[in-house]
Amino acid sequence: MQYRRFGKTEEKVSVLGFGCMRFPVTDKENDASIDEERSIAMIRNAIDTGVNYLDTAFFYHKGMSEKVVGKAIKDGYREKIFLATKLPLWNVEKEEDFDTLLNTQLEKLDVDYIDFYLLHAVNKDSWAQKVIPFGILDKMRKAKSEGKIRHIGFSFHDDLPTFKKVVDEFEDCEFCQIQFSYIDTDYQAGIEGLQYAAERDLGIVIMEPLQGGALATPAQPVLDAIGSRNPVKFALDYIWNFPEVSLLLSGMSNEQQVKDNLVYAAQSKANALTDEEKAVYKKAKEVHDKLDIIPCRDCRYCLPCPHGVEIPKVFKTFNEGVANANRRLILEIYPDIEANANQCQKCGECEAKCPQHIEIINKLKAVRNAL
């Protein structure tokens, strides 16, 4: 394993962090049904091989992720890792909710303190309507002074100006978590945001390095652009090449992914890409950006839909079919999706929850038309 400095916290973190949002499940229709035995074994294997950063959140796996992580770090593993979890801002309706939620998380994780505590998925609305009016930053500072939290930061999903505003106003912020990949260089915080945070010596965590798995099996035109390179290693190497990045998170769902990522992390390097390699990334992005792909990351934040629309599944099917011009695939799979795009009643509940700000209702209509 390789380690990097985590900004002004001066901690040393492994370049690969274990994202705890995509554990294997025993019932694929039920995100809460984590296969505990496998997940705990995967986490411990990663820690035994040097991973020292676990990232979970209040509602991952319908609230079960923190419980499983809590079990995984028993038997001496707690002392070997940094534990990161997040305050669900959408559950904060009044000032006191901060303490209630944090205490619940400490209980679920069965720990006395959290190393890295993040405001979850900050955007301009949650910043203006929750963080500022409810004095959440002071609440975080107080929890830090009481020893319940060691370091404070935020994860982010909005545009670049909002990112800079949050970094500026959250003066004692120690780290941030942004989505980034060779496709997302100019999306949300992007490269400019990454550098803005680095100039302020924030620790930088990258999430969605594979766009929720999509870059592991990219569209055929992208595959053609990257040639014989392994698409996962190709995507991760792009991120590790930035010396500003402290670590990237991978939401690993099976043993092989853990094994592969550990190898890639061991081989990772900063400032190592040649101009020739950089040109390949540029080409892959150009080709990707011409495709009509819905930027869904399969995070499932939008679920459940009260009318049973399996939003990420519908988008994934569309993306795989359209991006590869595979009409046969669409025709074969689409009728099998039980709750399909036609069931949308346009209630809008899902759109407010989507961190990618996808106009889900319109996109479902577009999918329907395309099909």
CB of 343 to ligand SF4, least distance (A): 7
CA distance 273 to 266: 16
Identify which of residues 228 and 369 has a Cβ nearer to ligand SF4 in the complex: 369
Of 243 and 348, nearer to ligand SF4 (C-beta) is: 348
Q: Least distance in Å: CB of 357 to ligand SF4?
A: 8
Of 220 and 345, CB closest to ligand SF4: 345
CB of 359 to ligand SF4, least distance (A): 10
Cα–Cα distance measured from residue 18 to residue 43, given in angstroms and rounded to the nearest whole number: 7
Backbone φ and ψ of 143, nearest 5°:
-60, -35
Minimum separation from the CB atom of position 52 to ligand SF4 (A) = 28
- Residue 316: how many CB atoms within 10 A of its CB? 19
Cβ contact 364:314 at 8 Å: yes
Q: Which C-beta is closer to ligand SF4: that of 222 or that of 360? A: 360
Least Cβ distance, residue 322 to ligand SF4 (angstroms): 16
Nearer to ligand SF4, 86 or 300 (CB): 300
Find the shortest distance in angstroms from Cβ 184 to ligand SF4: 13
Contact residues for ligand SF4, defined by CB under 6 A: 296-302, 305-307, 309, 311-312, 344-350, 353-354, 356, 358, 360-361
Q: Which is nearer to ligand SF4, 202 or 322 (CB)?
A: 322
